[in-house]
């Protein structure tokens, strides 16, 4: 299933993407796309049994919101692609590098990216997002993917000056409002299949900047879930963003960053596309 949320901020409604590409309204069936839903096997089975053609079509232009409501925490993984570590001139990490990103940075997949006051080095980062569906605490590697509900596109927008030049705390450069566009859809794990075979890309002002595959991850989704669960309890509705491939602005020569008016497009195979304007 491809689950989504749409509508104005504060008045979002649940929906799903039909096989014909239309958005179907789910508000007569579920209250929202949230942790309560993704941990309820009875309601999930009922959703899977629905004929999308029986649901109302959402007509006209659809404003998509973050596809999951009430995300508890966002766990980021740094330097998790071989090619990205090489472009940064850094050694391959021996263990996953974890950081937290504020949930107040979440926004819809096509919402504008708002540069914070004093922004100098705002960068793009396409990432695979992993949504936890079952409480994970010290989970063995071979059971890790059983705790994943689904996947989505995450744009880990990063203000490098705040991340790297203001005391070394990555969270400060990652957590500004609008710095985590999510979606367009939350795709269930059964539909995605192997998360280590997905093409992903990012284009800035019509120039392809990132183009890689999750096969290049240093630590797989399963390894990340298992590892992170040793240091914190991962709860249903938590989001893990799993790192970005080479091609970020920081790695260009000379470094190049997002300016007001820039257009960013990014996508992951099977998970849709995002489009943002920088303001």
Whole-number pLDDT of residue 24: 97
Tell me the three state secondary structure of residue 262: coil
Threshold 0.95, pTM exceeds: yes
Mean pLDDT for 180-187 is 98
d(CA 229, CA 252): 34
Task: Name the nearest CA neighbour of 278 among 259, 250, 257, 265.
Answer: 259
Residue 165: pLDDT band (50, 70, 90) is: confident
> Does residue 166 carry a pLDDT above 90?
no
Residue 270: pLDDT band (50, 70, 90) is: very high
Whole-number pLDDT of residue 47: 94
Mean pLDDT for 153-169 is 89
Residue 170: pLDDT band (50, 70, 90) is: confident
Per DSSP, helices labelled H in the chain are: 35-38, 41-49, 82-87, 160-164, 170-174, 189-192, 221-228
Whole-number pLDDT of residue 68: 98
Strands 2-6 and 13-17, by their bridges, are antiparallel
Mean pLDDT of the chain: 96
User: Do 37 and 1 meet the contact criterion of CB atoms below 8 Å apart?
Assistant: no
Whole-number pLDDT of residue 169: 72
Whole-number pLDDT of residue 167: 80
Token code pair at residue 155: 């744009």
pLDDT tens digits for 68-118? 999 999 999 999 999 998 988 889 999 999 999 999 999 999 999 999 988
CATH number for the domain whose boundaries are 74-277: 3.90.850.10
Report domain extents, the chain.
Answer: 2-54, 74-277
Whole-number pLDDT of residue 25: 97
d(CA 198, CA 25): 28
> Does residue 273 carry a pLDDT above 90?
yes
> Does residue 276 carry a pLDDT above 80?
yes
Mean pLDDT for 219-225 is 98
């Amino acid at each position: 299933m491809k689950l989504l949320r749409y509508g104005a901020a504060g008045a979002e409604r649940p929906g799903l993407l039909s096989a014909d590409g239309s958005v179907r309204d789910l508000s007569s069936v579920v209250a929202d796309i949230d942790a309560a839903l993704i941990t309820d096997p009875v309601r999930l089975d009922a959703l899977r049994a629905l004929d999308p053609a029986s649901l109302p079509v959402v007509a006209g232009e659809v404003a998509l919101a973050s596809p999951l409501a009430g995300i508890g925490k966002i766990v980021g993984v740094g330097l998790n692609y071989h090619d990205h570590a090489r472009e940064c001139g850094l050694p391959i990490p021996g263990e996953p590098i974890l950081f937290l990103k504020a949930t107040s940075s979440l926004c819809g997949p096509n919402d504008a990216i708002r540069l914070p006051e004093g922004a100098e080095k705002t960068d793009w980062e396409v990432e695979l997002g992993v949504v936890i569906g079952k409480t994970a605490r010290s989970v063995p590697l071979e059971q890790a993917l059983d705790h994943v509900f689904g996947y989505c596109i995450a744009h880990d927008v990063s203000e490098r000056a705040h991340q790297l030049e203001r005391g070394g705390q990555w969270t400060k450069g990652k957590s500004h409002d609008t710095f985590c566009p999510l979606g367009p859809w939350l795709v269930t794990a059964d539909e995605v299949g192997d998360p280590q075979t997905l093409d992903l890309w990012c284009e800035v002002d019509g120039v392809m900047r990132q183009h890689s595959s999750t096969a290049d991850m240093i630590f797989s989704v399963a390894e990340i879930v298992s590892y992170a669960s040793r240091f914190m309890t991962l709860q249903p509705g938590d989001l893990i963003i799993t790192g970005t491939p080479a091609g970020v602005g920081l790695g260009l020569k000379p470094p190049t960053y997002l300016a007001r008016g820039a257009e960013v497009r990014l996508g992951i195979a099977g998970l849709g596309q995002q489009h943002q304007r920088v303001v």
